[in-house]
A and B are shown apart, each in its own frame.
Chain A
Amino acid sequence: MKHTESDLRTLLEEYTHDPAGRQPVPHLKAIVRRGRRTRRVRRALGAGTALAVAATATVLLTGPLRTGQGEAAQPPALARIEAPPKLREEFPVVLGAERSTLSLIHSERFSTTGAARTVTFTPTSHFTGYEVVCGDPRAWIVISSPLKGGEDGGTSGRCEGGGGGHHDKLSVPSGWLKGPQSIKVWVFPADAPVVKVAEELGRCVPSGESTTCDEQAAGRALRNQDVLDRLSAEVGERPGEWAVGIYDSPSPGPATTADSSGRPSPANATTAEPPGTSDPGQTTPQTTPQTTP
């Protein structure tokens, strides 16, 4: 039998009324919560892709060195750890359907781990991004950056799992473009007792089906200031190569660079802090636009 368009319209209208008479209720809080989670995942994916590229580049660059020196003379794992990390020149940003790239505007290199470092730079837009790359991809990193509401957000976990993120107009603190801004970075050696310290301080909160303090939970625990202070005190300063890059919309001037003992430009300075002397007023990051790797 043939139907008419009118039949079709009537049927569609009738079938969209729940026979039980129920009406779906909007759960605004749940919707916004899912939206925030989506935004965090997108940012993490952007940072994760960046780190994957950096890690691949590191492995490729170290391969010929290992071949030339002979595996017996230098273990491959050690060669990878010693490789100087490379920062990429551009940082891809994906915001919904919009894709763009940020250019490297400032970078700093460090040759020791275990101490907090404050990296200061002058942003050129609301989309400032940052990324930490490590000579040893298994190193632990914590990045703390200010958010719009004044709280601290950031990333923590293994360096290989994603060590960066970026702001947008919704997350950037007020007055972002009015002057120099800074982020604080901790890098700890791969064998730092993160799990032990997190458990001792009762900061390890397993998620999902896990009941033990696994690496993911320990990585999240690193966002607590007391965990960072204890870990810095236990590990102390050790040799270890890592670098941090700041990315932003292209600015008129060239990118500035510095090393841990170098002379950064006045607008982009770095400050080394001994273990346990980082800002005691810093609170545990609760709201993070970037996710834990």
Chain B
Amino acid sequence: MDDGFAEYVAHRHLRLCRMAYLLTRDWGTAEDLVQTALAKAWVSWRRIEGNPDPYVYRIIVNTHASWWRRLWRGEVPVEALPETVDPNDQAAAADDRAVLWNAIGALSPRQRAVIVLHYFEGRTLTQVADIVGCSLGAVKSQLGRALTRLRVDPDIRTMNLEELQR
């Protein structure tokens, strides 16, 4: 059985691994997750109509969630970050990114999936809702909570654009 499956794997494997890495934060686990998802997709390949990406994404997200539940070790994300930095400290830029990266890792699997699908894969919130299998409102809610926990302010980008336009 093939029907373009081999071409799809060759074409999309790297991107899927990158997306899976953002969910798992470990390259080995990410590759295993993608291989598992593609194996599941292979079983139903001939029944997939149109672009297989949403179907494969959904398998990746759901499989990762099930693995996460199995491997969860009791980390409890807190509202306040343990340390703060001076906003004028140029050397702290790398630390900021590390803090943001760690904060992404503290998100729940569903919140992380919404963030990755929307900001990394460029999927609209409607598409994200279809992939993760919940309503658009639920996705907006998850996204809002995730951005709050990441200290990402969606208004800042707008403000910067306005400043550039002046």
Chain A residues packing against B (C-beta within 8 Å)? 1-9, 11-18, 22-28, 30-35, 37-39, 42, 95-98, 169-170
Most chain-A CB neighbours within 10 Å: which of B30, B120, B153?
B120
Distance (Å) between the CB of A23 and the closest chain B CB? 6
- In the complex where A4-B157, A8-B150 touch, is A31 in contact with B39 (Cβ < 8 A)? yes
Please determine whether B35 and A11 come into contact, CB atoms closer than 8 angstroms: no
14 A-B pairs (CB sep. < 8 Å): A1-B84, A3-B156, A4-B156, A4-B157, A5-B119, A6-B157, A7-B97, A15-B21, A17-B18, A32-B39, A35-B40, A35-B41, A35-B42, A38-B43
A24 to B17, CA, bound (A): 7
B67 at the interface (CB under 8 A from A): no
Distance (Å) between the CB of A224 and the closest chain B CB? 27
A24 to B21, CA, bound (A): 11
A22 to B31, CA, bound (A): 12
Residue in B19, B39, B119, B153 whose CB lies within 8 Å of A38: B39
Please determine whether A98 and B152 come into contact, CB atoms closer than 8 angstroms: no
Please determine whether B44 and A96 come into contact, CB atoms closer than 8 angstroms: yes
Query: 10 closest pairs, A vs B, by CB?
Result: A35-B42, A34-B39, A16-B18, A26-B13, A96-B44, A35-B39, A24-B17, A12-B120, A4-B156, A3-B152
B145 at the interface (CB under 8 A from A): no
CB closest chain-B residue, reference A15: B101
CB closest chain-B residue, reference A95: B44
DSSP majority for the B interface? Answer: helix
Please determine whether B44 and A2 come into contact, CB atoms closer than 8 angstroms: no
Please determine whether A5 and B152 come into contact, CB atoms closer than 8 angstroms: yes
- In the complex, what residues of A have CB within 8 A of residue B19's CB? 16
Distance (Å) between the CB of A5 and the closest chain B CB? 5
Most chain-B CB neighbours within 10 Å: which of A4, A24, A37?
A24
Interface mask (B13-33 → A, CB under 8 Å = 1, otherwise 0):
110011101100001001100
Most chain-B CB neighbours within 10 Å: which of A11, A27, A38, A169?
A11
- In the complex, what residues of A have CB within 8 A of residue B104's CB? 12
- In the complex, what residues of A have CB within 8 A of residue B154's CB? 5
Most chain-A CB neighbours within 10 Å: which of B10, B31, B38, B151?
B38
CB closest chain-A residue, reference B11: A26
A258 to B160, CA, bound (A): 81
B136 at the interface (CB under 8 A from A): no
Residue in A8, A18, A25, A32 whose CB lies within 8 Å of B152: A8
Residue in A8, A18, A33, A39 whose CB lies within 8 Å of B43: A39
Interface mask (B106-139 → A, CB under 8 Å = 1, otherwise 0):
0000000001100110000000000000000000
Please determine whether A5 and B35 come into contact, CB atoms closer than 8 angstroms: no
- In the complex where A9-B120, A16-B120, A28-B6 touch, is A2 in contact with B43 (Cβ < 8 A)? no
A27 to B157, CA, bound (A): 41
A233 to B117, CA, bound (A): 63
CB closest chain-B residue, reference A39: B43
Residue in A2, A15, A26, A97 whose CB lies within 8 Å of B156: A2
- In the complex, what residues of B have CB within 8 A of residue A5's CB? 119, 152, 154, 156-157
A35 to B39, CA, bound (A): 4
B80 at the interface (CB under 8 A from A): no
A32 to B35, CA, bound (A): 9
Please determine whether B119 and A96 come into contact, CB atoms closer than 8 angstroms: no
- In the complex, what residues of A have CB within 8 A of residue B152's CB? 2-5, 7-8
- In the complex, what residues of A have CB within 8 A of residue B157's CB? 4-6
Residue in B10, B35, B120 whose CB lies within 8 Å of A30: B35
Please determine whether B31 and A35 come into contact, CB atoms closer than 8 angstroms: no
- In the complex, what residues of B have CB within 8 A of residue A25's CB? 13
- In the complex, what residues of B have CB within 8 A of residue A15's CB? 21-22, 101
A152 to B37, CA, bound (A): 29
B53 at the interface (CB under 8 A from A): no
B141 at the interface (CB under 8 A from A): no
B36 at the interface (CB under 8 A from A): yes
Distance (Å) between the CB of A30 and the closest chain B CB? 6
- In the complex, what residues of B have CB within 8 A of residue A23's CB? 14
Please determine whether B31 and A12 come into contact, CB atoms closer than 8 angstroms: no
